[in-house]
Structure 1
Amino acid sequence: MAKATPKSTKKKGAKSPVNVLTYIKWFWILFATGLLSVIFLFLLASWGAFGEMPGFDELENPQNDLATQIISSDGAQIGTFFKENRTPVSFESLPQHLVEALVATEDARYYKHSGIDGRGTLRAFVFMGTKGGASTLTQQLAKQLFHGTKTKGWQRYTQKIKEWVIATRLERQYTKDEIMTMYLNKYDFLNQAIGISSASRIYFNKGPKELKTEEAAMLVGMLKNSALFNPLRRPEMVENRRNVVLAQMAKYDYLTVEEKDSLQQLPMKLDYAPEGHADGIATYFREYVRSWMATWVSKNPKGVNDEGKKEFYNIYRDGLQINVTIDSRMQKYAEEAVHSHMANLQKEFDKRELKNKTSPFRDLNKKEIEGIINRAIRSSERRRKMLAEDKSEEDILKSFDVETEMKIFSWKGDIDTIMTPRDSILYYKKFLRSGMMSMEPQTGQVKAWVGGIDIKHFQYDHVYQGTRQVGSTFKPFVYATAIDQLKLSPCDTLPMSQITIPAGSHGVTEDWSPKNSDGKYTGYYSLKRALANSVNTISARLMDRIGPEPILRLAKKAGITSEIAPVASIALGSVDLKLSEMVGAYSTFANEGVYNKPVMITSIEDKNGTTLYQFEPETRDVISKEAAYVTLNLMEGVTQSGSGARLRSRKSDQYIYKNVMTGHPYEFRNPIAGKTGTTQNQSDGWFMGIVPNLCTGVWVGGDDRAVHFASTTYGQGATMALPIWGTYMKKCYEDETLKISKKGFSRPESLSIETDCDEYKKKNSIEDTGSDELGF
């Protein structure tokens, strides 16, 4: 009998025992596959499969457009030239609370990861980004440096992979401090504030190191999205974001709860200082620098490229540093002086034009006025642009009579309005213009330069571009030549009687008999008194004795480069000169007869600090020390008893001219050499003022000579230009850090010409009768 087979104990439908080893095996296979896939993805990214990756050289030297900085003589940045307004700073220039705010808000584990935050990445995957992103500061820098714009779909993931690869490379290449600095230098904070240095200056008018904790927190808050958190457009939203940053700083123990609460209560205070090409100080000077640099760059290539072609510096991208002579403090005082006086002067001019039927012009007929308007149309920017668009002259002229929306200048701020371009030409013609320049005679360094009243609306530079008739401010060159050649004393007297220069003499084509402005022709005046009161007949007598040619030679040696005809009328200042020429030439007197060519740019450095240019002074002897000193002594009479005497008045100019002057007495007690100038019909007002270590010139007038005051009450140089000089110098003297001299002018050791008129009378046995005949 066969043996029975035992029955299975397995119940029907029961599962087979689990093979644990099989599951473990598959787990590791899948894990390894996933890991290898991730590694392979990273390798593909590093090989450039998802787009070009930066090489070693690019990581070593990431390319950024760097703004060229204009640095004043006192170390302030007064302007930039840029495509991107970026001025890099070092980590040492960052305040600790800025670093702490950045770490607390953007990457709390910044110092613990190597470019990728594993915990943050896992959190982002698990919560689909709802509890914060995974990007580290290093990844954000990688994105900024090497692949820019946002992407969608699959590219968004490949971009993230590229960020990870670049981030790890950056971490190997740079220190944590360097990465953070690069990130802050790269970020665009809007409003032309690219990088933390520009942002600090533009939003708070200070350097990064000077930022307060709450200010640093505001800038860090903008890093989330500067377009959204724009402090100029959404201040409340930005303040709330700032408070979030402060809360993060408290969360990570960078601030105490009490400090956080206190800072959050502070209102957000901006000190907005835009850095556009027409913003900030020294705008006209910066345009001069731009023009100068264009010439310098064209003559100084930085090297040769692989194709053998010359490469030139780019002032908008290469991060040059231009060191200039302007003193930012003096420049500020100069601009304030021009602004305050010109606003008042314009108010008075407008009031007196109400009854002028041809306003703003005087002494012109309808045809002449139309000619001025047509010339303005022909030289206008509107016409230039329309010609570039192939518009006909007929269409262009018609467009000047079509009402257009525009922003126009006013002394109370720009005005949005609608008017025809033709009417806007007339509107702008009514504004009086001004130019001002201040220079150190001993060095030639220009310390302040105000080329106009507002560069956005009036681009013409009245310091360096414009030439205007100088009037009596040319007379010191006549007197200086006479003193140098004839050894005259300021105490020597000449008759005030009329003099006639006959035709054929001194370049005169017909008999010339100059007149005195006050109509007086009797008695004698000393040279000092004659210059103080701008007596034309005495200037003409001096010119007649020495001739125009020696005067022109002296002027040319003193830096006057404009053409001057050798005619007798130069004795009264009939020539047109630049303000910059006049300041340079007048400085010769204060520098003991030695001319220093005005210097504006002292050196240029590249982004690494290598000097590319160093200025070389240009000097020459013009007149003797003795003649220079005596000429200064003559010009001191202008501010002692002549047309510039109000500089010493205890009464305010407001008392004399209610609506024009600043309203503050100058009360200068120190020696000042000066000369006022007023041209025919009051078209130009000048004042040139000198103290031992500063020479400053001011011009005021209309854009057209037919735009002027009706009388000398307001139209003379002593009223139009002198107050700007007085206000400027008062501010300079109040700032003791500037060390502007109040001493007397340096007297030569061996002075053969007597300048003390009391001593002069004793030596020459002249009794002072107190009459005009002696003229002392």
Structure 2
Amino acid sequence: MISNHIKNKVLKNTIRITLGLATVFVLFYLSIYSGVWGKVPSKKDLSEFNYQRASEVYSADSILIGKYYLFDRQPIIYDALPQHLIDALVAIEDERFYGHHGIDYPSLFRVVFKTILLQDQSAGGGSTLTQQLAKNLYPRIPNGKVRLAIDKVKEMMVASRLEDLYTKEELITLYLNTVSFGDNTFGIESASLKFFNKKTKELKVEEAATLVGMLKATYGYNPRVFPENSLNRRNLVLQAMANNSYLSSKQKDSLTQLPAQLNYREFDYNDGIAPYFREEVRKQLLQWVKEQNANDKEYNIYTSGLKIYTTLDYRMQVLAEEAMTEHMRALQQSFEKSYGSNAPWLKDTELIQKKIQNSLAYKKLEGNGLSKDQILDSLQKKHPMTLMDWAGEKNVQASSMDSIQHYMKFLNTGSLSIDPTTGAVKTWIGGVNFKYFKYDHISQSKRQVGSTFKPIVYTAAIEKGIDPCTYFSAQEVSYDNLEGWSPSNSGKTDETYLNYSMEQALSNSINTVAVKVLEETGIPNVIAQAKKMGITSTLPNLPSLALGTAEIKINELIGAYASYVNKGKAVKPFTITRIVNAKDSILVNFQPEITKEPAFSKETGMLLLEMMKATVDKGTASRIRTKYNLPNAIAGKTGTTQNNKDAWFVGITPKLVSITWVGLDTYEIGFKSTSLGQGANAALPIFALWLQKLNKEKEFNFITKARFDNPSKAVLDQLDCEPIKRDGFFKRLFKNPNKTKTKKFKNNSNSK
């Protein structure tokens, strides 16, 4: 028998220990409450909580095409949550959610008893949805078991305060808008768009169960990475819904038989539709935010939840990218084949060394103080890397030098289309692959524009009063006051005795005539005409201007071409129509920028349009009719620069103007031959293939079936002449076809 003395002693010790533990816990709790371990958010803090919201970019037809974010989150309201999503969440995560005040004591005691006392690691967690919300709002800082205990108590305090401030519906909404779904995706709306390409309100029961199932382990139950794990977890959620009477047994059995089906769509900076366009919008948005914040605003494109509505036509962009890919894949193959084993990216040691020394990798090592030999040795070391080509990405063992040489050979492109009456951008392709080629050939690149400048020369000539039926000799001339400069006609037979009308010369891109038209018009008049048409780049005050030696951006040149179908008025391409805030209040509307005065007369515009129609119907762009069989109303102009470095095509229709450039970023390399690198072969097909695709879509009939205004009789009369005249007998008698004519270039600077 144990004496009463011993019993009393044990009892007293037990009481002391219990009181001691209770005192420690109370002190521990008070220390947390008072902020010794860091501030506990007050009710005021919790009532003023703001999400970090992703800003969203929409096409003109209101399709979400991209986001700018630190955390990919798109908050939605409670009414946008389908009931079966809420039921799934409550059933699997907190089945007594509607009956507690932030802390589920029975569940908490179960976890404490089983996990701590019985060491049963399968006991599960005791956190309620409200506690999980507290953790979402104020993420834990991993730092040992003591810190974990502190965080747990903090979350209980915050959960209790949240329950005082918000209704159960509001707590559900806050939770689903803040919870992580992995892959830097936060909130149910972003997750729904990513995994099923639909809004939350459109989720089916099994889809909602899949997303809710991810919450236990966002990576382990990711349906894209581990489809089988995800399917099993989804079915467990469906079972929990049935156990809690949210689904009948029959419904549960039916749903669990369904296969897992995703419609995965990544809103990634490098991928997705129109990445170059989205980057251009981002740059413009940053500038706008900077201006606003200078006036005491507080906008952040990554956290303020702005909605940016753009001019881009989603479907047109999809088709444009398809056309570009189709053509550039084939052209790249032909390009590499044309050089064979003697390609400059393989054999031109001097060029290769130049590219290596200009590379970021080289400059970085040089900045670290390494010698040239050390740098080259480092750059030759092979390691795992991913290289892109038109067959896809390849994981290879390669050196930085290998990578530099690999990308030297890639053809690139810039392709832009706009509404010529407003300048609204409809499609924007800044390059062949944004992930590997960040440089935008629309907004950043200035290249020689070649023969696409000739229509401006001819416009200035007609504005000056030169009759379109004026004939100019095609004979090659050496200008002795220009160091013997002698422009010639690519691929032409002997033209010593031929004289071209302006229409014939432009439609067939006769270089010798273009220079003579420039000479007759005067370089200053041509430069002035270009400025009237919206060209702001500095133009060379040289006769070679006629051949397009000027370097002009695509988004500048296209505004000038728009004037031919916009009553002589040039436009400035624009991308954003309006910006609204997170509450859908309009912050700003953007208006088209159109020149106030026409750059030329209505008659001149009609004449040039007829000349460029002839370019498509029977000139350098005739393959639009013969190869691609396009019946549309089209005017256009091809362009090819010296040594086949740049290929151009401008396509004009009544409702769209499009410009495409193709070339290499390694400017030292051109196409091997003119037949391969001319604008009609390298650039025109992107436009032609795209228009073929548009023709098949009825929604674009208003564009594809549009017709130009009929030219007036006066315009037709001015063009009513023989396209080519041959010199008479006596002129031929005194011309020597084997001798280049020599003369001085006369810069006719008389004003119009």
TM-score range, shorter chain: 0.7 to 0.9
Q: Which amino acid in 2 is paired with 1:406?
A: M
Which one has a larger percent helix, Structure 1 or Structure 2? 2
For 1:545 and 1:67, how far apart are their aligned partners in 2?
A: 58
**Cα root mean square deviation, aligned:** 3.5
1:658-707 per-residue CA deviation (whole Å, 9 max, x = no partner) reads xxxxxxxx432221111111222322211110111211111111223443
For 2:580 and 2:177, how far apart are their aligned partners in 1?
A: 20
Cα deviation for residue 360 of structure 1 reads 4.1
1:675 is the counterpart of 2:662? no
Q: Which amino acid in 2 is paired with 1:626?
A: E
The alpha-carbon distance between structure 1 residues 375 and 613, as it changes in their structure 2 partners (threshold 3 A), is farther
Q: Identify the match of residue 214 of structure 2 among 216, 222, 226.
A: 222
Cα deviation for residue 352 of structure 1 reads 2.3
For 1:455 and 1:183, how far apart are their aligned partners in 2?
A: 35
1:714 aligned partner:
676
Q: Which moved more, 1:115-124 or 1:540-549?
A: 115-124
Q: Which amino acid in 1 is paired with 2:538?
A: E
Q: TM-score, normalised by structure 2?
A: 0.86
The alpha-carbon distance between structure 1 residues 628 and 255, as it changes in their structure 2 partners (threshold 3 A), is farther
Cα deviation for residue 417 of structure 1 reads 1.5
Cα deviation for residue 570 of structure 1 reads 1.8
Q: Identify the match of residue 314 of structure 1 among 288, 297, 300.
A: 300
2:70 aligned partner:
83
Q: Between the two proteins, what is the percent identity of the paired residues? A: 38
2:351 aligned partner:
372
The alpha-carbon distance between structure 1 residues 243 and 481, as it changes in their structure 2 partners (threshold 3 A), is same
1:206-355 → structure 2 map (5 Å cutoff): 206-301=198-293, 313-354=299-340
1:518 is the counterpart of 2:492? yes
Cα deviation for residue 745 of structure 1 reads 2.1
1:116 aligned partner:
103
1:204-603 → structure 2 map (5 Å cutoff): 204-301=196-293, 313-354=299-340, 356-360=341-345, 369-486=348-465, 488-489=467-468, 492=469, 494-498=471-475, 500=477, 502-504=479-481, 508=482, 510=484, 512-515=486-489, 517-521=491-495, 522-603=497-578
For 2:270 and 2:688, how far apart are their aligned partners in 1?
A: 27
Which secondary structure state, in structure 2, belongs to the residue aligned with residue 200 of structure 1?
helix
Q: Which amino acid in 2 is paired with 1:424?
A: S
The alpha-carbon distance between structure 1 residues 772 and 303, as it changes in their structure 2 partners (threshold 3 A), is closer
Which secondary structure state, in structure 1, belongs to the residue aligned with residue 97 of structure 2?
coil
Q: Which amino acid in 2 is paired with 1:400?
A: L
5+ residue gaps, structure 2, are: 5-16, 728-752
For 1:132 and 1:94, how far apart are their aligned partners in 2?
A: 27
For 1:718 and 1:267, how far apart are their aligned partners in 2?
A: 50
2:183 aligned partner:
191
For 1:390 and 1:314, how far apart are their aligned partners in 2?
A: 38
Q: TM-score, normalised by structure 1?
A: 0.83
Q: Which amino acid in 2 is paired with 1:596?
A: V
Aligned partners of 2:345 and 2:352 also within 8 Å: no
Q: Which amino acid in 2 is paired with 1:383?
A: Y
1:382-440 per-residue CA deviation (whole Å, 9 max, x = no partner) reads 13433454444443233223233321111111111122322322221111111111111
Cα deviation for residue 359 of structure 1 reads 3.5
Aligned partners of 1:496 and 1:535 also within 8 Å: no
1:74-97 per-residue CA deviation (whole Å, 9 max, x = no partner) reads 222222222222222222333333
Aligned partners of 2:456 and 2:526 also within 8 Å: yes
For 1:516 and 1:349, how far apart are their aligned partners in 2?
A: 20
Aligned partners of 1:592 and 1:629 also within 8 Å: no
Cα deviation for residue 63 of structure 1 reads 4.5
Aligned partners of 1:684 and 1:700 also within 8 Å: yes
1:754 is the counterpart of 2:710? no
The alpha-carbon distance between structure 1 residues 117 and 206, as it changes in their structure 2 partners (threshold 3 A), is same
5+ residue gaps, structure 1, are: 1-12, 16-29, 305-310, 654-665
For 2:669 and 2:337, how far apart are their aligned partners in 1?
A: 14
2:612 aligned partner:
635
Equivalent residue pairs, number: 710
1:306-364 per-residue CA deviation (whole Å, 9 max, x = no partner) reads xxxxx86433333333332222222222221111111111122222222x524348xxx
For 1:267 and 1:708, how far apart are their aligned partners in 2?
A: 52
When Rg is computed on C-alpha atoms for both structures, the one with the higher figure is: 1
Aligned partners of 1:441 and 1:590 also within 8 Å: yes
2:61 aligned partner:
74
The alpha-carbon distance between structure 1 residues 708 and 90, as it changes in their structure 2 partners (threshold 3 A), is same
2:703 aligned partner:
740
Aligned partners of 2:556 and 2:572 also within 8 Å: no
Which secondary structure state, in structure 1, belongs to the residue aligned with residue 376 of structure 2?
helix
1:728 aligned partner:
690
Q: Which amino acid in 1 is paired with 2:592?
A: P
The alpha-carbon distance between structure 1 residues 593 and 747, as it changes in their structure 2 partners (threshold 3 A), is farther
Cα deviation for residue 715 of structure 1 reads 1.8
1:541-586 per-residue CA deviation (whole Å, 9 max, x = no partner) reads 3222211222212222222222211222222222222222222221
1:238-261 per-residue CA deviation (whole Å, 9 max, x = no partner) reads 111111112222333333333333
The alpha-carbon distance between structure 1 residues 426 and 42, as it changes in their structure 2 partners (threshold 3 A), is closer
Cα deviation for residue 281 of structure 1 reads 1.9
Aligned partners of 1:547 and 1:568 also within 8 Å: no
